[in-house]
Structure 1
Amino acid sequence: MSTAAPPEPSSASIPRASHAERASSFGAGAGDYRAVRPSYPDAAIDWMLPAGARHVLDLAAGTGKLTEKLVARGLHVTAVEPSDGMRAQLQDAVPGAHVLPGTAERIPLEDGSVDAVLVAQAWHWFDVATAVREIARVLRPGGRLGVVWNVRDHTVDWVEQFTEIIHRGDSLEPVHRTPSLDGVDEAFTPLVHATFPWADRLPAAGLRTLAATRSHLLTLPLAERDELLDAVDHLAATHPALAGLTEIDLPYRAECWRADRVLGTDAGMVDE
C-alpha cells in the first residue's frame, strides 16, 4: 500500500465561506463536536471564576464542554447558545444546566443577574462592540468576565502538521488573541492573562472527526473537505509519533483572560 501523502488541494479552487456562514455551520456537525472537541482544564476554570460565584453564564456554550464542568461544581449555570443543533446536544449532555437560545449581542438575562460570564472558544464569532456591553449589563458589580481558548501545542511536530492540514485554504485569521474590550474599558478592570498546559486523550481515528468539526471544513465543498480529511488520516497512519496507536494525547495550552466588572459604573449598559 502506498504511503504517499494525498495531494494538497489548490487554495484557489476552495470557495471562501463568509464569517456568518462559518459561525452558523456548527449545528450540522454538533454530534461530532460533542464527541471529540476537548473540554477545559480545572485549573483554568478555577482561575477564571471569581470567589463566591454562584450563578454563572456560559455564553455561546456550544454543546456544553465547559457547561458540564461548571455544573459539576454545584454552580447554577445558565448556558446561552444560538445554534439549535448545538443546543440540543447541550441539553442532552448537561441536564443540570438552564439552557436558553440567545446570542452574545442579545443575552436573554436580567441586568446584574450573574456572578461570572465565561466564553470558551467563541469570542471571535461575536460582534464585540455590542457583546461586551451586553456582558457588562448582565454582570453584577464586581462580577467577572472570563475568556478561554484551547490552543494546540505547535511545538510538537505532528500537531504542527495537523494544524497545517486543517488550515489549508483557510481565510480566517488566528483567533486566540487578547479579547478586545474597546468601548467599555471603563466598565472592567484591565485584562489579565494566564496559560494552562494540558492534554486531551482521544482515539487516533478521532483526529479526522476533530478536523471535520472545524468551520473551515464544515463549509467546504465535499470533495475539498474529503481531501483534507484524507490528509489527516495519512498523518495519523504514517507519522512516527502516531502510527499504530489507538489513542493519542493531543497537547493544548488553555489561554485564559479575565477582567472584573467595575463597581458603580453603568458604562456597559446597552441603549434601547
Structure 2
Amino acid sequence: MNNDQRLLHASSFGAAAAAYAEHRPDYAQDAVRWALDPAPGPRVLDLGAGTGKLTATLIAMGVEVIAVEPDPAMLTELRRSLPAVRALPGSAEAIPLPDASVDAVLSGNAMHWFDMAVAGPEIARVLAPGGVLAGLWNVMDDQVEWVAGLARVSGSAAVGPRDTPASWRAETAGVHLPKNGAAARFGSPEQALFPHGQRRTADSLVATLGTRAGMLVMPEPEREAALGRIREFLAGRPETAHGEFTLPMMTGVLRVRRL
C-alpha cells in the first residue's frame, strides 16, 4: 500500500463511526495488563483512540487515560460514549501533550496507520523514561477451520494482513515501531497473543467486517457483493447459521520500552 492509499484507508472510518462503535470488539484485559506491565506509572495515552474501544477497556481496569484521535467524527463518538474522558484532537505525528507526560502509549488497531518516521520521535517525546509503547490488534483465530474459510471468502479487504495470528506476528514484528533516530530510544520488541472470543450473530459479524478500511473504501456495488458472499458463507455453516456463536479471536500485543 502506497502512502496515498494508506491515507485514504486511514481516513475512511469517520463516515462509519457509529457502526464502528457498535460492532468493533473491545480488547482482552489480560492483553492490556501485559502491555502495561513494565510501565513506570499509571498515566496512559490511547493514541489513535477511534471511538474509544481501548479507552473503555482501560477505564474498566481503573487506568488513568487520555485519548487522542485525529478524525472529528470518531472523536465525537468517543466523547459521546465516554464523556468523562479527557479526549483531544491530535495525531501520532502531532501529539498535543507535554514532554514526558505519560507512562505508556497504547494504540488499538491503529499503529499501522502511523507515519513512524514522524510519530516515533513524537511518541518518544511524550513518554517518560522507562515508559511503554504498545500496539494492540484483534485478530481472528484461523486455526479454527470455519474461521479460515471465512477469511478466504471475505478477501483481503475484510480480513487483511494483520487479521490472523500468523500474519499478525509477521506484519507487526518491528514494522510498526519507531524508525531512524527514534528507534535508538526504544528497546527490543516483544509480542504476545491473548484469547478474546466475541459473541456474534451472522448479521453482527457481517456488520463488523463491513467496518474494515478495505471495505469502507470499496465502490458500493463491490462492497455489497463482498458482504453478500460473507452472508452466504455464514448461512451455510452449522457453527454460524443459527443465532449467537462465539467468534474465536485473540488480542495481539506488540510491546517496546522507552529507554
TM-score, normalised to structure 1, is 0.84
The alignment partner of 1:21 has SS state of helix
Question: What's the CA shift for 1:51?
Answer: 5.0
Task: Identify the match of residue 149 of structure 1 among 109, 132, 137.
Answer: 137
Between the aligned partners of 1:75 and 1:96, the Cα distance in structure 2 is 13
Between the aligned partners of 2:92 and 2:153, the Cα distance in structure 1 is 31
Runs of 4+ in structure 1 off by over 3 angstroms are 170-173
Aligned to 2:200: 202
Aligned to 2:252: 255
Between the aligned partners of 2:256 and 2:245, the Cα distance in structure 1 is 35
Task: Identify the match of residue 213 of structure 1 among 199, 211, 214.
Answer: 211
Q: 1:145 to 1:51 in 2, by over 3 A?
A: closer
Task: Identify the match of residue 117 of structure 1 among 105, 116, 119.
Answer: 105
Question: What's the CA shift for 1:235?
Answer: 1.5
**Any stretches of 5+ residues in structure 1 without a counterpart?**
1-16, 263-272
- Asked if the contact 2:201/2:240 (under 8 Å) is kept, the reply is no
Aligned to 2:12: 25
Higher mean C-alpha displacement, 47-56 vs 62-71: 47-56
- Asked if the contact 2:119/2:178 (under 8 Å) is kept, the reply is no
Q: Could you report, residue by residue, the CA deviation over 1:207-245 in whole angstroms, capped at 9, with x for unpaired residues?
A: 11011101111111111100011111111211122122x
- Asked if the contact 1:76/1:97 (under 8 Å) is kept, the reply is no
- Asked if the contact 2:141/2:250 (under 8 Å) is kept, the reply is yes
Q: 1:260 to 1:51 in 2, by over 3 A?
A: closer
Aligned to 1:231: 229
Between the aligned partners of 1:88 and 1:160, the Cα distance in structure 2 is 35
Aligned to 2:24: 37
Between the aligned partners of 2:39 and 2:128, the Cα distance in structure 1 is 13
Aligned to 1:268: none
Between the aligned partners of 2:179 and 2:155, the Cα distance in structure 1 is 29
Matches within 5 A, 1:64-213: 64-168=52-156, 170=157, 174-175=161-162, 176=168, 177-178=172-173, 179-183=176-180, 184-213=182-211
**Aligned letter for 1:19?**
R
TM-score, normalised to structure 2, is 0.88
- Asked if the contact 2:202/2:231 (under 8 Å) is kept, the reply is no
**Aligned letter for 1:72?**
A
Between the aligned partners of 2:230 and 2:79, the Cα distance in structure 1 is 31
The alignment partner of 2:196 has SS state of strand
The alignment partner of 2:197 has SS state of strand
Between the aligned partners of 2:154 and 2:94, the Cα distance in structure 1 is 32
The alignment partner of 1:31 has SS state of helix
Q: Could you report, residue by residue, the CA deviation over 1:159-201 in whole angstroms, capped at 9, with x for unpaired residues?
A: 2222223325x49962432233322222112112211122011
The higher radius of gyration belongs to 1
Question: What's the CA shift for 1:204?
Answer: 2.6
Q: 1:65 to 1:171 in 2, by over 3 A?
A: closer
Percent identity of paired positions between Structure 1 and Structure 2: 41
Higher mean C-alpha displacement, 171-180 vs 216-225: 171-180
Q: Which has the higher helix share?
A: 2
Q: Cα RMSD (Å) of the superposition?
A: 1.9
Aligned to 2:47: 59
**Aligned letter for 2:235?**
A
Question: What's the CA shift for 1:255?
Answer: 1.4
- Asked if the contact 1:58/1:67 (under 8 Å) is kept, the reply is yes
The alignment partner of 1:205 has SS state of helix
Aligned to 2:165: none
**Any stretches of 5+ residues in structure 2 without a counterpart?**
163-167
